[in-house]
Amino acid sequence: MKNIIITGANRGIGLELTKLFAQDCIVYALCRGDFPQDALNDHIKVIKIDITDEAAVAKFAAELDAAQVAIDLLINNAGMAGGDDNLMVKVDVSSATQVFVTNVVAPMSVSLHVTNALKRADKPAMIAISSRMGTHALLNDYNAEWWPYSASKAALGMAVSAFAINEPTVQSISVHPGWVKTRMGGDDAALEPAESARDIKNLYERIDELESGSMYNHDGKVMDW
């Protein structure tokens, strides 16, 4: 049975990915908040952790190493938009820095700390949930207005490409999950979280065919970024 790590696992796409993979895998469900009790099963191991707390991430990775756990897949899903409750963009230094720490530094910190666990697997993989908003090719007025989020996702794409070069044995891609009905995506979005999660799992199932370091749409198409 494969071992999967999913960050931001307690809501939205992360929760749907957790439920989907936990049907036949062991899922380490990393989340800051409470995990919904009605979604739990014997395959889900809830880890209460803030991925921006590097000491906590290092402790979790050390526990995996001590137990010689092999991680087949890491899904870096946790992220933040950087707006307030009224969906207004925050562009002050503190808020913008928090967006970059959460969306770029933290997921790569998790990736680096669990690299040893990934390398214990036969075919390790890392998927980072990104956004088309981070692609210069698709830059528009809306993406420009939300530049802290857009720029952070652009930086995440570069970081994933660098990780792919530095760790060639780990098949690593970034994925645009689609416009999804989550707290960030809103009620008018085109996809249900379960649909996006299904597409991402389908991508993972053929990840050996994909180019490590590249960005893909949830439907499997390569994205120009």
Q: Give tens-digit pLDDT for 9-53.
A: 999 999 999 999 999 999 999 999 999 999 999 999 999 999 999
Q: Decide: 94 and 30 in contact? Cβ < 8 Å.
A: no
Fold of 3-217: Rossmann fold (3.40.50)
Give the pLDDT confidence of 130-175 residue by residue, as tens digits. Answer: 999 989 888 889 888 889 999 999 999 999 999 999 999 999 999 9
pTM for the model stands at 0.94
pLDDT at residue 125 greater than cutoff 90: yes
Banded pLDDT at 184 (limits 50, 70, 90):
low
Give the pair of three-digit tokens for residue 53. 């707390």
- Checking if the pLDDT of 188 tops 70, the result is no
Q: What is the mean pLDDT of residues 178-192?
A: 71
Task: Please state the φ and ψ torsions of residue 214, each to the nearest 5 degrees.
Answer: -90, 170
| Residue spans per domain, the chain | 3-217
Judge whether residue 89 has pLDDT over 80.
Answer: no
Phi then psi dihedrals of residue 42, to 5 deg:
-70, -15
SS (H, E, C) the chain: CCEEEEECCCCHHHHHHHHHHCCCCEEEEEECCCCCHHHCCCCEEEEECCCCCHHHHHHHHHHHHHCCCCCCEEEECCCCCCECCCCCECCCHHHHHHHHHHHHHHHHHHHHHCHHHHHCCCCCEEEEECCHHHCHHHCCHHHHHCHHHHHHHHHHHHHHHHHHHHCCCCEEEEEECCCECCCCCCCCCCECHHHHHHHHHHHHHCHHHCCCCCEEECCCCECCC
pLDDT at 216 over 90: yes
**For position 179, what pLDDT does the model report?**
76
